[in-house]
Amino acid sequence: MYKTLAALTSRLGAPHTRRLAATSIRLAGVVNRLPPPPQLRRSVMGLSFPAPLGLAAGFDKHGELYSALPGLGFGFAEIGTVTPLPETGRSRGLAMVIANLARHPAPRSIPLGVSIGMNRATQRERMADDYLACLAQVWNHADYIALNLGVRAGPDLHQPEHRAVLRSVLAAVKEEQARLTAASDRRLPIAVKVDQTRGNTDALLGCVRAFAFDGLILSGDALDGGGGRVLATLEQVSGALHGVMPVISVGGIRTPQHVQDRLNAGAALLQVYSGLVESGPLLVRRINRGLMPDQA
């Protein structure tokens, strides 16, 4: 039923199919109140996750769907990417997101991550300020922070010619994390999202590692599906980071087998976006069921 509707709305364009998925999540979230089986619970970055699969950034940019997610089997949600100021078609701005997040005070049933980014118009020298403004404002409303380096605005921080800018952003964020931790008496883990499709992954990972971030979100090519490239890179990266920081894998997850393969390749957690749009919210429960030991 969902797939038929998705096929119909896809003719109108991707935003329509995403809207269908969001509406389905809202509706399904009202009637579904089944948390994931307790065997799927895990501890990552010092937080307790009821299941390994979470909602990827970009789907719920403004924190409007969070309350529907736990009952559908999601293990966590990443809201955003938020930017300090509103931007047509992309972001309604930090103030609006904060107002939504304030409706979900701790303790929360699933960890709430907030992905932070920068505005398109921000000058390269002021990039760090955008990240810092978001970090300070979302600090009291989130369980973890995701640093979105893949923002298609300003310099591409994946590229070697921008390594100095990248380092200054990472250093500033780490400093602010320490300051906010001391001021609030509460430490929030920060994971850095790296897009492996943009190349230069090794050098970028070196920086993330040197600054001792709490986790890495490794985003692969959605079109590669469960295919070799994503898995091979994940295996290599999670092997190199074993015992240093957990890896969260995102990109191309559509079936329980994809999730199992990523876990076997060393992922601590996973996120889904496109698979959800294509298959609808019941995909999450199907994946959780497929991860149960007696289904293996």
Ligand X SMILES: Cc1cc2nc3c(=O)[nH]c(=O)nc-3n(C[C@H](O)[C@H](O)[C@H](O)COP(=O)(O)O)c2cc1C
Give the interface with ligand X as residue ranges (CB under 6 A). Answer: 56-58, 61, 81, 115, 148, 150, 193, 219, 222, 250-253, 272-275
Minimum CB distance to ligand X smaller for 88 or for 243? 88
Which residue of this chain has its Cβ atom nearest to ligand X in the complex?
A: 58
Minimum CB distance to ligand X smaller for 56 or for 247? 56
Minimum CB distance to ligand X smaller for 238 or for 274? 274
CB of 255 to ligand X, least distance (A): 12
Minimum CB distance to ligand X smaller for 107 or for 152? 152
CB of 94 to ligand X, least distance (A): 14
CB of 274 to ligand X, least distance (A): 3
The 3-class secondary structure across the chain, one letter per residue, is: CHHHHHHHHHCCCHHHHHHHHHHHHHHHHHHCCCCCCHHHCEEECCEEECCCEEECCCCCCCCCCHHHCHHHCCCEEEEEEECCCCECCCECCHHHHHHHHCCCCCCCCCCEEEEECCCCCCCHHHHHHHHHHHHHHHHHHCCEEEEECCCCCCCCCCCHHHHHHHHHHHHHHHHHHHHHHHHHCCCCCEEEEEEHHHCCHHHHHHHHHHCCCCEEEEECCHHHCCCHHHHHHHHHHHHHCCCCCCEEEECCCCCHHHHHHHHHCCCCEEEECHHHHHHCCHHHHHHHHHCCHHHC
Minimum CB distance to ligand X smaller for 116 or for 165? 116
CB of 273 to ligand X, least distance (A): 3
CB of 108 to ligand X, least distance (A): 20
